[in-house]
């Protein structure tokens, strides 16, 4: 990724040089370009406001995500989840105690934390899962060999494996054509909607959350996410593991 940025700059520099010498050569080759519409950040992060989120909103977020990414609904323990509801205790058992009253069983949204120091990326033997330079931990479904080392490596249970052919559990007429399904035998997870960011849109769950989920650049001190993290108390999951998760929960 750093490499590609360097390549791009190099390419741009060469293009500028070429253009100054011989203007007719400008863009004289077919090839890859970066889209002008894409949203850019130094470090994408998500902030989930547990005060604003309610059960109904969470269902909307889940529905939006799973619909957009053609995530099948498999009615057993070999299922696929990108974003789902989990009781507070299950997410923050290391930061809770016996007298939390009702909080313990309140459902929260759970998804990939897009860690700054992701164990899944470290353990993947083919670099099928990798960190982009904007911090998103992405899956390359073309390359995954299905060894599931990343699932053992993930301390958050955020990854799912396609035990089945997912098309068996998807209605052909209901498929969303803009995003592929997966094939049997690869691992998948939340991607912070990298493909939407690349075309200039915000992630599906953020759009569906009616303002309860914020998404922005953590390196920009004036971004929404930085502002709200300054003002309110927030948690991340299992901070002691040093994975540096980038999904923040406002309490």
Partner 1 sequence: MLEKAIKGSALYWIWLLVLLAVIGVGFGAYLQQLDQGLSVTALNRDVSWGLYIAQLTFLVGVAASAVMMVIPMYLHNHKAFARMLILGEFMAVATIIMCLLFVVVDLGQPQRLWNVVLYPTPSSVLFWDMVVLNGYLFLNILIGWVTLQAERKRVGPPKWIKPFIYISIPWAISIHTVTAFLYAGLPGRDFWLTASMAPSFLASAFAAGPALLILLAFAVKIFAKWDPGREAIQSLAKIVTYALAAYLFLIGCKIFTAGYSMVPDKLAHWQYLYFGLEGHTMLSGFMWASTAAGVAALLILLFPKNRQADNILAFACVLVLISTWIEKGMGLITAGFVPTPMKEVLTYAPSGPEILITLGIYGIGFLIITVLWKVGIGVRREIEAT
Partner 2 sequence: MYDANKIIPGLIIFALFMTFPFWYNLGAEAYSTPELELPEDYERCIESTEFMRAEHMNMLDEWRDLYVREGYQEYWSELKQESYPMSLTKTCMYCHSDKEEFCDRCHNATAVDPYCWDCHIEP
13 binds partner 2 (CB under 8 A): no
Cβ atoms within 10 Å, residue 183 = 14
Distance of alpha carbon 77 from alpha carbon 100, whole angstroms: 29
In 74-113, the DSSP E strands lie at 83-87, 107-111
183 binds partner 2 (CB under 8 A): yes
What does 4 bind: partner 1, partner 2, none (CB cut-off 5 to 8 Å by kind)? partner 2
With beta carbons less than 8 A apart as the criterion, state whether 82 and 189 touch: yes
Q: In the structure encoding, which two tokens stand for residue 46, read together?
A: 């998500």
Distance of alpha carbon 102 from alpha carbon 88, whole angstroms: 10
Among 58, 64, 137, 154, the residue binding partner 1 under the rule CB under 8 A is 154
103 binds partner 1 (CB under 8 A): no
Taking the complex as a whole, how short is the minimal distance between the CB of residue 117 and partner 1, in angstroms? 9
132 binds partner 2 (CB under 8 A): yes
Cβ atoms within 10 Å, residue 92 = 20
Q: How many residues bind partner 1 (CB under 8 A)?
A: 47
* Per-residue contact string for residues 49-68; x = within reach of partner 2 by CB under 8 A: --------------------
Taking the complex as a whole, how short is the minimal distance between the CB of residue 60 and partner 2, in angstroms? 24
157 binds partner 2 (CB under 8 A): no
């Amino acid at each position: 990724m750093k490499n590609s940025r360097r390549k791009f700059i190099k390419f741009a520099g060469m293009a500028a040089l070429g253009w100054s010498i011989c203007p007719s050569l400008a863009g004289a080759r077919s090839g890859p370009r970066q889209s002008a519409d894409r949203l850019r950040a130094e470090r994408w992060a998500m902030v989930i406001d547990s005060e604003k989120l309610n059960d109904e909103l969470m269902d909307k977020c889940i529905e939006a995500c799973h619909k957009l990414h053609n995530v099948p609904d498999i009615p057993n323990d070999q299922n696929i989840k990108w974003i789902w509801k989990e009781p507070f205790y299950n997410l923050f058992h290391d930061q809770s105690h016996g007298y939390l009253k009702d909080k313990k069983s309140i459902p929260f949204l759970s998804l990939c934390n897009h860690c700054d120091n992701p164990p899944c990326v470290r353990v993947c033997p083919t670099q099928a899962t990798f960190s982009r330079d904007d911090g998103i931990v992405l899956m390359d479904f073309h390359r995954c060999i299905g060894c599931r080392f990343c699932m053992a490596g993930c301390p958050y249970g955020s990854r799912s494996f396609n035990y089945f052919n997912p098309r068996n559990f998807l209605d052909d007429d209901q498929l969303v054509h803009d995003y592929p399904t997966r094939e049997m035998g690869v691992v998948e997870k939340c991607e912070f909607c990298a493909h939407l960011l690349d075309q200039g849109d915000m992630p599906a769950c953020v759009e569906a959350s009616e303002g309860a989920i914020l998404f922005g650049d953590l390196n920009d001190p004036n971004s929404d996410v930085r502002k709200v993290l300054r003002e309110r108390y927030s948690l991340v999951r299992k901070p002691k593991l040093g994975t540096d998760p980038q999904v923040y929960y406002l309490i």
